[in-house]
Amino acid sequence: MKNRYRMLAFGIPVLLILSILSSALVIGREKPAELVFWTAPNKFQNRYNKEIVDTWNRENPDIKIKWTPIPQGESSEEVIFAAIASGTAPNLLTNVFSGFAETLAKDKVLIPLDTLPGFEELIKERDMVDIIEYYRSPDGHIYVIPIYTNAMLWRYNKELLDELGLDKPPRTYDELLSLADKVVVPHKRWLVLRPYASGWWERWFDFMTIYYAAGGKHFLKDGKAAFNNDAGITAAKFWQTLYKNGYAPPGIVKARFETGNALCHEMGPWLIPDTAKYFPGFEYVLSPPPVPDGYPENSPIYTFSDSKGIVLLANTPEEMIPKAWKFVKERFSLANDVKWFEITGMPPSRGDLLANPAFANVLSKQPEIREFARGVPYALPPPMNPYVIETQKIFTDVCWEPLVYGRKTVEQAIKDGEIAINEFLASQG
């Protein structure tokens, strides 16, 4: 027993000293010998990326590209943070959404792409002059070029629509909710298959989609919360009604939509090949998200854009930057965009999808994609704010969850969310 105390008395100061010394140790990383390119882990994207990387490596044997798909933990952003921390970050990275690019840019991790030669021409050629403005940082630079824009639409089970005697999907909240009596079987069949999920990114697919459709323009603006308005409250009320009445599941549902367990749910274009593969023959109808009653008939309906882009990291050695940039520009060529569209089914972030004949082939092969292509100009990405992840987490905890579980009124929840987010953003300076 005495020995133990002696050990402690002697050991702890030694350990403390050792730790202080060792904490000063930061070993430098070596520069990479080739360009490291990380992409989203998705089977179709992998097929595409493999093709373009192989082509590049054939044509540019002097600077090869080492390509790896990154896995996700809860979200790929965490993987990137760890990689940056340990000096194993890539040079080129896709699957970066607007807010995340801001986060990285704030820490000076990214190269401003608009400072590289040929940027303006690239944007014009790709017909994204308007689209790119969504991705301009507060400091005026562009750090990320969106590859694709997935306009979130809602899809309806055609069989159920037919049963209900509808030839087209309901347009407004009232129209949709009025179907509940005929559709909902408690715990077996839902009106809207959107289980409540606590991940911060889930808010894109429930609140933000409906909020943008209801006419909301910004979630965050100028470093403050911007959703405490009519559109925000109406959107939130819609969801609260769904959860309160059991029209939407309160938790994980394992069975997929295609098994007929709901009337509708939100859908991105990546599900088109997925449904075709696992549930061939399943029929569905696409439509923009429901809008508040009283929404003008001929107004365009906006929606959320699940959009990711490519960034170039500042850890790239100077002499390799021109080559890396060349790769980026080539990737956005018309031919590659068409190939992307064909293989992944996700609309490239271009304004000319419906007009440009090069895309006609792809669009005709799968009529569902037309709807998504149509939505591209009306799809709003997440806010260009470095704290998107934190603010969405706060929104989930303070506003969304209590609202879903009926513990707060919508007005209270939205107001609390606004206050909490503003407090947080203010404290970040």
Q: How many CA atoms lie within 13 A of 149 on its CB side?
A: 30
- Decide: 61 and 329 in contact? Cβ < 8 Å: no
Distance CA 360, CA 293 (A): 35
Shortest Cβ 43–another protein spacing (Å): 3
CB-nearer residue toward another protein: 80 or 214: 80
N-terminal to C-terminal alpha carbon distance within the chain: 52
- Decide: 172 and 252 in contact? Cβ < 8 Å: no
Burial call 345-354: b when 16+ CB within 10 Å, e when fewer: bbbbbbbbbe
Total H helices, total E strands in the chain: 18, 12
Which contiguous run of DSSP H or E holds residue 354? none
- Decide: 232 and 216 in contact? Cβ < 8 Å: yes
Distance CA 376, CA 146 (A): 12
- Picking from 152, 258, 141, 277, the residue whose alpha carbon sits closest to that of residue 203 is 152
Residue type (1 letter), 248: A
Distance CA 267, CA 128 (A): 24
What is residue 37's three-state secondary structure?
strand
Distance CA 410, CA 403 (A): 6
What is residue 119's three-state secondary structure?
helix
